[in-house]
Amino acid sequence: MALKPDAAIMSGLAVAGVVFAVHTKFTPTTADMQGLPAGVKDVDKSERQATIISVGIVSGISLLAKDPTIFVIGSLATVALAFTSRHALWTETKTGPLNAGPGQSAASANDLATGPSMTTQDVHMFAGASDYTA
């Protein structure tokens, strides 16, 4: 016996919220994953664990409720979050030219992991300001 359409959609959205909470607790933020070198094994493992737990939650709740709408919405949320996490983790990001602050490097996370081959230069905000004193 399937749920009424409005109850099925609300239940599906609640399951999607649970899937989002699982991914939030198991994995770092997308910005943090993009800042890491591509393919960090610990983050990849935690992302896979979050996806497996999400599949179990979605399957269990949809079987208990006997409603395919819950399964469809929960599965879409699981696939979307898994894709977003894996794309952020396995895409090699290189930073472009930056105006780095004093003592900061404009190197990417991959360059920092393998050892930077460049030197940094401090930024002086008012270089030559003494020429314009009153």
Q: Are residues 111 and 45 in the same domain?
A: no
Residue 117 has pLDDT above 80, yes or no: no
Q: Are residues 86 and 130 in the same domain?
A: no
> Token pair 């081959």 is at which residue?
117
Confidence (pTM)? 0.66
Residue 98's pLDDT is 43
Q: Is 83 left (phi over 0), alpha (psi -120 to 50) or beta?
A: alpha
Q: Are residues 50 and 18 in the same domain?
A: yes
Q: Are residues 21 and 57 in the same domain?
A: yes
**Domain of 106, in residue numbers:** 98-134
Q: Are residues 109 and 72 in the same domain?
A: no
Q: Are residues 27 and 81 in the same domain?
A: yes
Residue 2's pLDDT is 79
Question: Looking at the 3D structure of the chain, how many domains does it have?
Answer: 2
